[in-house]
């Protein structure tokens, strides 16, 4: 199984390259917004759908106008790719996989440009983009797969002012791993980042809390600067660099932990958490965001697909913390402050380890029987569930 992977590297452009790329980013954003406005207006006024081919013809006409003649100064490939990305955004919207496409902002949107094979030259570790004479000064932190040639190159600049280039290649080294005998249930938390069904606990480093003084100090300095001043722009970059350092450290840990779990276990079981709803809690939002449970889950998903592992996601309403992993009895209440409890069968449980073991048992049942893992319902005398009765009580 050949897998396409993006290899991301940092590079340091010359002043001329930085100016050319910044110009390209602005043109990409302009073309995307104009095409989005044209498609929205066509549907609003005439109930007409505009596709990629029509927006591509619009781009050709825009380049011939006096006001938009500067679009000819940059490579045409990133502009065409922007129209393709807009087409994908509309396809996802119509398939109800995403919201309606939004306009790109100069200050908040990601500054990037995508080049296909016709717009770059890669030879002997040297990458040269269209409209540039010199190759990029890339820091090759790891080699590309032997014999692979990039099919797409994406250049980006983050809010901290760092430049990155991402090369999409066919990686023949990604192959299913040998079948392992081990299985593991994974319970995520805040005190411990992960608790495994084996009893192992992985400490939560709390990167954001450990470095909280640095972003606070940088933010105070930013607040003192005059608006629209050069000093304010410099202070904004300093704030972004502090947050980028925290994000890099967090992502590095999640990559190491997820790779290790995927390599060691054949089946991994996690819980389907509604993180978007959980961060609405003002007391826990900061800690939950710092733990980055959603990013950890996405890493497990694509790495399990790469290496032939099974990832089972248990329903979010499954009472993993309330069930006794020894006898299966269920506790009525289990407040968050209770970390250790004793079941009626005499078994003393660590809350997180018990939850991980229950997740593993439920996940194995799913993989064997193919049934979904749904929460246990308390039956009522008339045969209806408690959930059904609560629904009926709300009816007038």
DSSP, residue by residue, 136-196: P-EE-SSPPPTT---SEEEEEE-TTS-EEEEEEEEETT--PPPP-S-EEEEEE-SSEEEEE
CA distances to 175, 271, 366, 369 from 181, in Å: 18, 21, 17, 19
Q: Which residues of 14-48 are buried (b: 16+ CB within 10 A; e: fewer)?
A: eeebeebbeebbebbbbbbbbbbeebeeeeeeeee
Is-catalytic flag, 67? Answer: no
Catalytic position from the list 114, 208, 290, 352: 352
Spatial separation of the C-alpha atoms in residues 171 and 3, rounded to whole Å: 5
Fold of 183-204+252-369: Nucleotidyltransferase; domain 5 (3.30.420)
Number of H helices, E strands in the chain: 11, 14
**Whole-angstrom distance, CA of residue 180 vs CA of residue 185:** 15
Cα 351 to Cα 349: distance, rounded to the nearest angstrom: 6
What is the number of other CB atoms lying within 10 angstroms of the CB of residue 1?
9
Separation of alpha carbons 329 and 97, rounded Å: 39
User: What is the reported pLDDT for 388?
Assistant: 34
Nearest one of 97, 83, 75 to 30, comparing CA atoms: 83
Active site residue 181: no
Catalytic residue of the set 187, 191, 248, 382: 187
Question: Which of these, 43, 122, 119, lies nearest to 75 by C-alpha position?
Answer: 119
pLDDT for 369 = 60
The structure tokens listed for 92 are 């996802």
Say whether 134 is catalytic. no
Please give, one letter per residue, the 3-state secondary structure of 344-363.
Answer: CCCCEEEHHHHHHHHHHHHH
Per residue in 46-79, pLDDT (tens digit) is 889 999 999 999 999 999 999 999 999 999 999 9
- Which H or E run includes 313? strand 310-314
Rounded Cα–Cα distance for residues 110 and 221 (Å): 25
Among candidate residues 343, 144, 161, the one with its CA nearest the CA of residue 244: 161
Q: Which of 20, 114, 208, 271 is catalytic?
A: 271
The two tokens of residue 166 are 């991402």
The ranges assigned to domains in the chain are 3-171, 183-204+252-369
Taking the C-alpha atoms of residue 343 and residue 328, their distance in angstroms, rounded to an integer, is 10
pLDDT, residue 336, reads: 80
The ranges of the chain with pLDDT < 50 are 371-396
Residue pair 171/177 in contact (Cβ under 8 Å)? The answer is: no
pLDDT of residue 103: 96
Quote the tokens at residue 224.
């003192």
């Amino acid at each position: 199984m050949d897998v396409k992977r993006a290899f991301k590297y940092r590079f340091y452009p010359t002043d001329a390259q930085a100016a050319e790329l910044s110009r390209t980013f602005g043109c990409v954003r302009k073309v995307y917004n104009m095409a989005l406005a044209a498609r929205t207006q066509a549907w609003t006024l005439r109930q007409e759908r505009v596709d990629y081919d029509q927006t591509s013809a619009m781009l050709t006409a825009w380049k011939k106008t006096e006001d938009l003649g500067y679009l000819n100064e940059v490579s045409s490939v990133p502009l065409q790719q922007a129209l393709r990305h807009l087409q994908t955004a509309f396809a996802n919207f119509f398939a109800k996989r995403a919201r309606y496409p939004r306009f790109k902002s100069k200050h908040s949107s990601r500054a990037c440009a995508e080049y296909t094979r016709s717009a770059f030259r890669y030879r002997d570790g040297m990458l040269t983009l269209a409209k540039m004479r010199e190759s990029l000064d890339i820091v090759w932190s790891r080699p590309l797969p032997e014999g692979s040639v990039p099919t797409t190159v994406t250049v980006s600049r983050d809010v901290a002012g760092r430049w990155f280039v991402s090369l999409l290649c066919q990686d023949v080294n990604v192959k299913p791993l040998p079948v392992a005998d081990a299985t593991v249930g994974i319970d995520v938390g805040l005190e411990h980042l992960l608790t495994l069904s084996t009893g192992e606990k992985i400490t939560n480093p709390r990167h954001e809390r450990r470095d909280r003084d640095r972003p606070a100090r940088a933010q105070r300095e930013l607040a003192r600067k005059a608006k629209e001043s050069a000093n304010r722009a410099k202070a904004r970059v300093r704030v972004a660099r502090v947050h980028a350092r925290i994000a890099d450290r967090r992502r590095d840990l999640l990559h190491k932990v997820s790779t290790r779990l995927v390599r060691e276990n054949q089946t991994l079981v996690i819980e389907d958490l509604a993180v978007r709803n959980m961060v609405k809690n003002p007391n826990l939002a900061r800690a939950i965001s710092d733990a980055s449970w959603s990013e950890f889950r996405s890493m497990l998903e694509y790495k399990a697909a790469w290496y032939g592992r099974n990832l089972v996601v248990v329903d979010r309403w499954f009472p993993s913390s309330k069930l006794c992993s020894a006898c299966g009895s269920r506790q009525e209440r289990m407040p968050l402050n209770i970390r250790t409890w004793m079941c009626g069968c005499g078994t003393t449980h660590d809350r997180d380890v018990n939850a991980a073991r229950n997740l593993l048992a439920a996940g194995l049942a799913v993989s064997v029987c193919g049934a979904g893992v749904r929460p246990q319902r308390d039956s009522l005398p008339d045969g209806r569930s408690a959930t059904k009765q609560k629904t009926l009580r709300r009816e007038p």
